[in-house]
Amino acid sequence: MKTIKKITLKENDASKACLDKVELDRIISFYAGKPGRLLGILEDAQKLNKHKYLARGDLEYISRKARVPLSRIYNIITFYAFFNLKPQGEHSIVVCRGTACHTRGSKILLDFLINLFGFKEDDFSQDGKSFLTTKDNKFTVKTVACFGQCALAPVVEIDGNIYSRMNSEKLRKIVKGISTLRGKK
């Protein structure tokens, strides 16, 4: 039998508007009349968020102010892997799962991280848009289809920096480094 699930409006804390309206207005007026306006607004809005994601409430505000239909905004933010719809951990680790990186062992790196943080492998779907965040909210692990750095495969991006020719040992050291650095503070 076919399961018919009713879609209901999900309201949680993460969906509430949390950005400063003055800042958002500034971003929206900055991009007024510029090509690629919506992408720019969404990118800056995500950066503005402490947890690096786009909250539903903020998007509704952007829609009204920038006069862009909500459906269009949802189209854009679900198309680009860059945009996050849920709160992100403090540090992001993005494993490239492109062809070049795959042949140079990126699956091993991903499995290593899944083990290290105690995730379940099934939690990752194949669309490249899903991510996992550690319980203490410190790390978020994501995959991406290609960074365009194939010559340096396998590639992992940590907090915006690209690390080339990675292996599990190097990855373990960097992760440990970030954890202890924070611990000392």
Answer yes or no whether residue 21 interacts with another protein by CB under 8 A.
no
Which one, 3 or 161, has the nearer CB to another protein?
3
Binding span for another protein by CB under 8 A among 36-44, 64-72, 149-157, 163-171: 64-72
Answer yes or no whether residue 63 interacts with another protein by CB under 8 A.
yes
Strand order in the sheet with 139-144: 131-133, 139-144, 91-96, 156-158, 161-163
Q: Give all strands (DSSP E) within the chain, no chain letters.
A: 91-96, 131-133, 139-144, 156-158, 161-163
Answer yes or no whether residue 168 interacts with another protein by CB under 8 A.
no
CB of 128 to another protein, least distance (A): 8
In this structure, how many other beta carbons lie within 10 angstroms of the beta carbon of residue 167? 14
Give the residue, chosen from 107, 129, 138, 170, that forms a contact with another protein under the rule CB under 8 A: 129
CB of 79 to another protein, least distance (A): 5
C-alpha 34, offset from chain centre? 25
Q: Side-chain half-sphere of 185: how many Cα atoms within 13 Å?
A: 6
CB of 118 to another protein, least distance (A): 26
Contact partners, residue 177, CB within 8 Å, separation at least 6: none
Query: Distance (Å, rounded) from C-alpha 92 to C-alpha 104?
Result: 22
Give the residue, chosen from 23, 29, 79, 182, that forms a contact with another protein under the rule CB under 8 A: 79
CB of 37 to another protein, least distance (A): 15
Name the site residues for another protein (rule: CB under 8 A): 2-10, 15, 56, 59, 63-64, 67, 69-75, 78-79, 85, 127, 129
